[in-house]
Amino acid sequence: MIGGVIVGGGSSQVLVRAIGPALADFGVSGSLEDPTLELRDKDGVIITQNDDWKDTQESQIRRRVFPRRMIANRPFSRP
């Protein structure tokens, strides 16, 4: 799946998650067993990537001001 975000001028915070198998709870079948995320710039160069959450990332996200409803009350770890 390819998603996109355009941020014009200044900076913005965006939370992106690859939920994978937990999507079955929402009636989605055929999801990826072990999804990965890549963030690329406008030229396609990878800026950062992630394959599996780490404990430090969970605490960083929980400290942010993202409303709980934005993360659909899903746990931050793989099932």
CA dist., res. 1 & res. 45, Å (int): 17
What is the predicted pLDDT for the residue at 45?
95
Q: What integer is the mean pLDDT of 10-16?
A: 76
Residues of the chain above pLDDT 90, percent = 4
Per-residue pLDDT reduced to its tens digit, 53-67: 766 677 777 776 555
Q: Phi/psi of residue 48, each to 5°?
A: -155, 160
For 39, the 3-state DSSP assignment is strand
- What burial class does residue 78 get, using C-beta atoms within 10 Å of its C-beta: 0-12 exposed, 13-18 middle, 19+ buried? middle
What is the predicted pLDDT for the residue at 70?
52
Q: What is the pTM of this model?
A: 0.56
Q: Sign of the CA dihedral 33, 31, 74, 66?
A: positive
Higher-confidence residue of 67 and 5: namely: 5
